[in-house]
Amino acid sequence: MFSNAALDDRRKAALPVGVSCANPIYADRGQNAELWDVEGRRYIDLVGGVGALAVGHCHPKIVGAVQAQLGKFSHTFFGTIPYEGYITLAERLNERCKVGGRAKTLLVTTGAEAIENAVKIARAYTKRHGIIVFGGAFHGRTLLTMAMTGKVTPYKHSFGPFPGGIYRAPFPDLYRGIDVEHCLSALDTVFETEIEPSAVAAFVIEPLQGEGGFIPAPAEFMEGIRRLCDRHGIVLVVDEVQSGFGRTGCLFAVEHTGIEPDLIAMGKGLGAGLPISAVVGKAEMMDSVKVGGLGGTYAGNPLACAAALAAIDVLDEENLLARAREIGARFTAGFQRIQKKHRSIIGDIRGLGAMIGVEFVKDEETRKPARSLTAKVIKEAADRGLLLVSAGRHFNVIRLLLPLTLSDAIIDEALSIVEDSIDAVVDGDLALQTPAAAQA
């Protein structure tokens, strides 16, 4: 039998340092929201493949669909020998995505690839080059998407120079006093000082920031951007790679704002753990790219298409949009109860549906980010059998990217572990601050 320690030694010898590994816990098997490591220890998994496992580990419908497709063929490359699964998935996405008109779909492989293709489509349609993005954004790890991402370490450090034509504006963060009026005014400044509106191809925005700290974009902010796009002929692209596919209680987070984008980039939960992503948008925009300009070797892989089609079925059959809202309410109530005990360090609880973020601060007054404390809580929780992951510019937000199929009993167990972990970390920190004489 393998051990975690032995596998971690092998990892360090075989992999570059740049491939991060937050927990030296090596997976052996998973079921729904539970994971067992190679030593047989059970964990509650609220990381969910960083959002890819919206229907949990090894959902029988996903497993069956992939096995059935694997028995037929695993790959052809759609650009030379097409297949029905790609078309069916595109049809089903076109039916569900609200983009202000008839939709068409491009299937690709990763979230970053979806964003890059959305930029290509916007530039081809508008014949413009400029792309406006927002502070705190995360759009991927390719060279273009790193330029669009609003966080240097670890994503951009030492990798420049980056492609040009990217312009950045602030994103609203009501907890930290960055309001909608300020951010819309800043966009006017971008147009006055950085790039004229007639040269802007697209706004690219996360309706609910992921890596940025699980910060929802206020509806009035999204409405303001939609007005700017309509006024100046700019394409509105929403990045739903992390927030899409039911996680927020709607199919896409942008639906909470009441506006309709022009292009939607999606991934993660779409494939139920298999690598697939998509750009869905207005037909006239999607058709602006010439034949051969879109695609890729593994784009819309048959196995991933089968998984995605099955995941859509699960979303419907198990009523997971409603379940996401129930999960969010239960976790929010639990975190609010814990916050009453630890108000000085739990600054904000926010999100939409089951996409909840809990921000830790050093104290209630200054709201300074508590990165070290957050890391300690995550480590303590892992030691107690709960897997969590951080987010935010200062890594001081615990974010929930859990399967929407988990039970109330698992939620309550997870909340109990979180509370015990915070208690232990706070008590430990207080003990360290207490003079030795006082402890005697």
Low-confidence ranges of the chain (pLDDT < 70): 430, 432-440
Domains and CATH numbers, the chain: 4-55+319-433 (3.90.1150.10), 63-317 (3.40.640.10)
Task: Give me 117's structure tokens.
Answer: 């293709």
Euclidean distance between CA atoms 404 and 333, whole angstroms: 17
What's residue 435's pLDDT?
58
Listed in sequence order, the residues at least 6 apart from 248 whose beta carbon sits closer than 8 Å to its beta carbon are 208, 256, 324, 351, 352, 353, 354, 355
List, in sequence order, every residue forming a beta bridge with 75; answer none if it has no partner: none
- One DSSP character per residue, 360-429 reads EBS-TTT--B-HHHHHHHHHHHHHTTEE-EEESTTS-EEE----TT--HHHHHHHHHHHHHHHHHHHHHH
* Phi, psi of 97, deg, nearest 5: -90, 125
What's residue 432's pLDDT?
67
What's residue 439's pLDDT?
47
How many other CB atoms are found less than 10 A from the CB of residue 81? 9
Amino acid identity of residue 292, one-letter, is G
Strand order across the 235-239 sheet: 103-108, 277-282, 263-266, 235-239, 200-205, 130-134, 166-169
Euclidean distance between CA atoms 273 and 54, whole angstroms: 8
| Apex 95 CA angle, 92 and 100, nearest 5 | 145
Q: Are 195 and 203 in contact (CB under 8 A)?
A: no
* Phi, psi of 227, deg, nearest 5: -65, -40
Total number of residues shown for the chain:
440
- In 168-301, alpha helices (H): 180-193, 219-232, 283-286
How many other CB atoms are found less than 10 A from the CB of residue 84? 9
